[in-house]
Chains A and B, each alone.
Chain A
């Protein structure tokens, strides 16, 4: 008997707690399916579109958000979210977002795998960054300019990337943390009408 009583008392308490929580948060009816746009790390504000079966809404202003009640309804018109609600909805994910990878551009002498003197001096900084970020994922991508055949360009950009990888291994970065690829002349840093373009003759090291 006393067991029964305590069970029903517990239920009553639980019901009351739920009710007061609902009243406190005032979330009756406001969907918690939310998308919020934030400024990029560099301050620029992008555009995000949210599309259900009923149609699309666009987010273009930093901090604004839309809610979606269900798949067949239009997203709500963009609104500002309070810091408190934003934190309750996505705070943990936001805090876990990794900082932007750090990219180094290493330049080469024309038609060779010799680093320019300035780029040679950058190598210790790559090591410092990899250590500071505790990075286990570093990509080393070789690029060439447009002078010469694409076969040749793929080959020289691969040899440039391998050279940089070997230098970093010598400096103490584990080889298994690095991935080496070559893009030839297909992914130029700057669009140039001249085939010889020193800025495109490079190895990009991305420390993730």
Chain B
């Protein structure tokens, strides 16, 4: 009898775990947004994978690293209708993006380590400004509405970011860095 109970409990735990991980995997597939426009070249590295060139309509996900080339720019619309764009030789990570108002789950953390950006915030900032920010190597930005521009001097990005770009094949030439 005792054995039966143990078996039941273990099975229940395993089943719960499987369902939970399936749910997590499904959540990870919800896009954070999509590419609206590109001039020049722009590429993405998702979860450390090799970089690939972006095209309009491509879906973007949490943890994506977006880079633009020299003389290039990229326009993006996130699922909460935040619009944002990167100028030339820029690098932005979608560190955190959660937009499920029905569950009260909201978060938006964007991290720019080089270049320039423009943004008009969307629903997340409207619903809860405390969960939205933009991080840079020098400062962070809190947004209570909505339209701002930002520029960074070259050479501020961390060694970790440089190493991640190298691993993903985002070479300085491709990302518009100064070729020596």
Q: Which of A8-16, A96-104, A163-171, A193-201 lies at the interface?
A: A96-104
Instruction: Number of B interface residues at 8 Å Cβ cutoff, please give it.
Output: 52
The yes or no answer to B109 lying at the interface (CB within 8 A) is no
Residue of B nearest to A157 (CB): B102
Nearest Cβ on chain A to B75's Cβ, whole angstroms: 4
In the bound complex, how far is the Cα of B119 from the Cα of A41, in angstroms? Answer: 11
> Does the CB pair A96–B139 fall under 8 Å?
no
Answer whether A90 and B151 are a contact pair too, CB < 8 Å, given A40-B146, A75-B139, A206-B81.
Answer: yes
Which of A89, A184, A208 has the most CB atoms of chain B within a 10 A radius of its CB? A208
> Does the CB pair A93–B56 fall under 8 Å?
no
In the bound complex, how far is the Cα of B120 from the Cα of A21, in angstroms? Answer: 34
> Does the CB pair A68–B34 fall under 8 Å?
no
> Does the CB pair B139–A71 fall under 8 Å?
yes
In the bound complex, how far is the Cα of B37 from the Cα of A39, in angstroms? Answer: 22
> Does the CB pair A139–B79 fall under 8 Å?
yes
The yes or no answer to A136 lying at the interface (CB within 8 A) is yes
> Does the CB pair A89–B151 fall under 8 Å?
yes
Q: What size tier do the contact residues of chain A reach? A: 35 or more
Return chain B residues, CB-CB under 8 Å to A61.
none
> Does the CB pair B145–A44 fall under 8 Å?
yes
Q: List 11 A-B contacts (CB under 8 A).
A: A31-B153, A35-B139, A46-B146, A47-B144, A48-B143, A51-B140, A51-B141, A51-B142, A90-B87, A90-B116, A99-B83
Binding site for B on A (CB under 8 A): 31-41, 44, 46-52, 59, 68, 70-71, 75, 86, 89-101, 103, 134, 136-137, 139, 177, 179, 183-184, 186-187, 206, 208
